[in-house]
Amino acid sequence: MSKRLKPLPRFASEAEERAFWEAPGNDSTAYFDASKSVRVVFPNLKATTTSISLRLPDALLTHIKAMANRLDVPYQSLMKLWLAEKLVEAEKQTAAAKRLATR
């Protein structure tokens, strides 16, 4: 048996709607059935990125740029790919170590 949902009020402005949801006692679960939620995909949405400053030895950066050139990819993209791959690898190793520790 599903619970009875309150009808969603109509708002004259975004400010009025914001005030409504910020008010104590206005819980969205009274207006929406989360079990009927659907996953939404935004294929054209770009991931948020943050610029960082990273000091590398000149020789290492030269090596990375040479490899990127051989692979015909921008060196910063190659660095991001390598970092992501290494992170996945480290997460797998950590998970495996935890499984061994709990045996």
Position with higher pLDDT, 34 vs 1: 34
Please say whether the beta carbons of 17 and 11 come within 8 A: yes
User: Which pLDDT tens digit goes with each residue over 77-97?
Assistant: 999 999 999 999 999 999 998
Percent of the chain past pLDDT 70, that is, above it, reads 98
Rounded mean pLDDT of 47-67? 94
To the question of pTM greater than 0.85 for the whole model, the response is no
Residues 6 or more apart whose CB falls under 8 angstroms from that of 33 comprise 2, 3, 5
Residue whose C-alpha is closest to residue 6's, from 34, 28, 38, 21: 28
Closest listed residue to residue 29, CA positions, set 13, 47, 8: 8
Q: What is the mean pLDDT of residues 58-64?
A: 98
pLDDT band (50, 70, 90) for residue 2: low
- Tell me the average pLDDT across 25-35: 85
